[in-house]
């Protein structure tokens, strides 16, 4: 199978039907212990310091890891991806653009996915076959999610990791299935661990993966990862076809559409407060204004940049926030 890079979640079923092995570049970047070298490479090649670290990381990984082809989302994700693809094309990498239409109509979503299928020379029936096969993996991801918020057994980080990995199935669907089954058996054998504060995490997956463990040292647990859960397509089983599945995918569309699902999960998971993560220099940080106005529960906005761990100031802010939420909860109780 030939590898093809992804800048974010795309209709991966199309790529699998075309015989490719999709690789989410973000996951390679952030899990590399020398991740900073990719940022340095991009800045040496002229990327401004005011560019998002994820964009620079994707660029560095593509050049370092021999990625020959990449799919970039030019509408519905990072506003810098179009320029990134232009630079990657200049470096000899074959680029394929994909768009989640701002109109967010089912007909326009179908149009874009059909264009994507034509790009890779696959038929709709082949894509639907892969969609059906992938549902088994998506059900396993849903089980890990439920073990987090309903049974209080899976950690916030486990919830994050296995759902974010659904963007490319870790490059090998069968191996990933076995890994998830083993992890589920391990988690199910644990005792429930009730925590005082139930947090929701919204926004792009974090550069700072230690956020989850740090929250748990404060007797708080992240029981909802918004975008990671969307990468796992928890409602795909209800979609009549691939077009409905990606129409229902909340992340690429407007903030009001996202908030509808976030509010449902706040109620279903009995979430006390929200951590809203934004990346430095990203337009999505402005959406925090809407988030605070609409959600009706305490919201803490934390911003990541180049570090892959929480700094001391952010830890203090999280600790103070959890203390405040705990006091509010005790007062209500």
Confidence tier at 290 by pLDDT (50, 70, 90): confident
Q: How much is the pTM? A: 0.94
| 12 and 146, same domain (yes or no) | no
The pLDDT, as a whole number, for residue 224 is 98
Domain termination site, one of 120, 155, 188: 120
Domain termination site, one of 72, 97, 120: 120
The percent of the chain in helix, strand and coil, each rounded to the nearest 5, is: 55, 15, 30
Distance, first Cα to last Cα, the chain: 57
Domain termination site, one of 63, 89, 120: 120
Over range 184-212, report the average pLDDT: 94
Q: Each residue of 104-114: pLDDT tens digit?
A: 999 999 999 99
Give yes or no for residue 136 having a pLDDT over 90: yes
Strand, helix or coil at 198? strand
Task: Give the span between the Cα atoms of 74 and 95, in whole angstroms.
Answer: 11
> In sequence order, what are the beta bridge partners of 301?
276
The CATH number assigned to the domain holding 34 equals: 3.40.50.11890
What's the order of all strands across the beta sheet hosting 220-225? 220-225, 197-203, 273-279, 299-304
Give yes or no for residue 231 having a pLDDT over 70: yes
Over range 19-29, report the average pLDDT: 94
| 112 and 130, same domain (yes or no) | no
Over range 320-326, report the average pLDDT: 96
Give yes or no for residue 73 having a pLDDT over 90: yes
Give yes or no for residue 177 having a pLDDT over 70: yes
| 136 and 252, same domain (yes or no) | yes
Give yes or no for residue 23 having a pLDDT over 70: yes
The pLDDT, as a whole number, for residue 156 is 96
Confidence tier at 281 by pLDDT (50, 70, 90): confident
Of 161, 225, 216, nearest in space to 194 by CA: 216
The pLDDT, as a whole number, for residue 333 is 62
| 113 and 131, same domain (yes or no) | no
- 234 in Cβ contact with 148 (< 8 Å): no
Tokens 């089983």 — which residue?
A: 237
Give yes or no for residue 222 having a pLDDT over 70: yes
Tokens 């609409």 — which residue?
A: 294
Tokens 């299935």 — which residue?
A: 177
- Among the ranges given (70-79, 149-158, 167-176), the one the predictor scored with the smallest mean pLDDT: 70-79
| 136 and 99, same domain (yes or no) | no
Task: Give the span between the Cα atoms of 30 and 83, in whole angstroms.
Answer: 21
DSSP string, 150-192: TSS-S-HHHHHHHHHGGGTGGG-HHHHHHHHHHHHHHHHTSPP
CB-neighbour burial class of residue 86 (10 A; exposed 0-12, middle 13-18, buried 19+)? exposed
Average pLDDT, the chain: 94
Give yes or no for residue 271 having a pLDDT over 90: yes
Domain interval for residue 231? 124-332
Over range 219-248, report the average pLDDT: 97
């Amino acid at each position: 199978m030939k590898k093809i890079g992804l800048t974010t979640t795309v209709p991966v079923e199309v790529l699998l039907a075309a015989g490719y092995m999709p690789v989410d570049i973000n996951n390679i970047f952030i899990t590399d212990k020398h991740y900073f070298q990719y940022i340095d490479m991009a800045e040496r090649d002229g990327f401004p310091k005011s560019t998002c670290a994820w964009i620079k990381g994707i660029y560095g990984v593509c050049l370092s890891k021999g990625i020959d082809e990449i799919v970039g989302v030019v509408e519905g994700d990072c506003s810098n991806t179009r320029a990134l693809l232009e630079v990657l094309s200049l470096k000899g990498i074959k680029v394929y653009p994909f768009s989640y239409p701002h109109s967010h109509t089912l007909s326009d979503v179908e149009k874009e996915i059909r264009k994507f299928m034509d790009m890779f020379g696959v038929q709709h029936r082949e894509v639907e076959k892969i969609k059906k096969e992938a549902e088994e993996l998506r059900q396993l991801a849903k089980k890990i999610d439920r073990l987090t918020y309903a049974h209080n057994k899976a950690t916030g980080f486990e919830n994050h990791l296995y759902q974010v990995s659904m963007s490319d199935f870790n490059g090998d669907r069968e191996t990933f299935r076995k890994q998830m089954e083993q992890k589920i058996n391990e988690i199910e054998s644990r005792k429930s661990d009730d925590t005082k504060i139930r947090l929701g995490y919204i926004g792009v997956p974090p550069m700072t993966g230690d956020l989850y463990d740090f929250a748990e040292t404060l007797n708080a647990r992240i029981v909802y990862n918004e975008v990671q859960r969307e990468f796992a397509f928890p409602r795909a089983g209800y979609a009549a076809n691939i077009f409905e599945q990606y129409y229902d995918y909340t992340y690429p569309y407007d903030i009001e559409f996202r908030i509808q699902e976030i509010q449902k999960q706040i109620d279903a998971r009995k979430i006390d407060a929200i951590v809203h993560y934004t990346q430095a220099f990203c337009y999505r940080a402005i959406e925090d204004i809407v988030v605070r106005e609409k959600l009706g529960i305490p919201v803490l906005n934390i911003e990541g940049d180049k570090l892959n761990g929480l700094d001391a100031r952010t830890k203090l802010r999280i600790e103070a926030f959890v203390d405040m939420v705990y006091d509010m909860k005790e007062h209500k109780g």
